[in-house]
Structure 1
């Protein structure tokens, strides 16, 4: 056997580096004025969450990086065929969402000055990802990409009649809560007698009435 026995983790591009720099600035800023040039901080793209990236150039760079990471994981860590990330992974939204986090965690672990974070990634992050992937994919795409078994149910979930039924249930629930709140406001609390033991007798301190004893 020849060649590199342990390939380095894929590097990120300049646009991703800039996105991470903006996030770091937002995280450590002590005053809003220090990061006013970044715009709304809640809209900053998170490279590990592709859905937050709307800039085409950055999105393309993240796609390329994730594809490189998927190939790297298959070569460096996977042994059993069932553990391999399928070539059609971009067609699986659950893999797109999870792979971004796995890749980001590995990138961060590689930047640390100790091996602790990398050990955590090896022990928990990667094995958990592989197990979830296997549980969801179940080998369906070994011979090529197949539509999700739950596709028909997803279509039925989005159907107009199903949406209308759910909205009707939501409306009934909201109306019920509103009615219960109105009834509670209209109901007057019932005054309870306040008894105190005086000279061996229970006396209502509001009315002065003496309560009947157990032997009365």
Structure 2
């Protein structure tokens, strides 16, 4: 797996990294929901009826589960330093632009480490900002692939949840961005640019990803996985 080591600007990441923002919003909403459920459970307990005790117990359990999510989510994702250090460096490009953001299209091998055969997919992500980049179609946006499963019991050969996280969300240094672009094989950039036109199709696909037929892959990418 190709990784890219660079000093993460944590203050910058906290302000612009949308992956961290998603986790924060999930955590806050889980806490708010837990408080509301706990309040409902307390009210039902005060009613002092047999049926209200049953509902009270149900709401109390739901409140605990919601509170658990608020603790589990940040640990599941890990720190921003860990994410960038342990995730594969992948190519992404601005594929669509909007008045308040853009869509980036990434080329990611979504096969799990124990799988010998590559499963390259086109993956999209809507973004609000890309510091250090221009919001123009074809702009190269080096990223890392954040990969996970919805369930620990998954036996699939591929990751269920895949999302590109731009290097630009972790540093202000444009030299780092240029170095990351150069660290990605030109073959990958060429293949990605060739597929920019299918961005909308990928957005409409399940999990915002579309598998590439192995016969459409350059020989170099197949050899890399075999190595």
TM-score tier after normalising by the smaller chain length:
under 0.3
Structure that is richer in strand per residue: 2
Structure with greater Cα Rg: 1
Structure that is richer in helix per residue: 1
Higher relative contact order (CA 8 A, sep 6+): 2
TM-score, with length taken from structure 1 = 0.28
TM-score, with length taken from structure 2 = 0.27
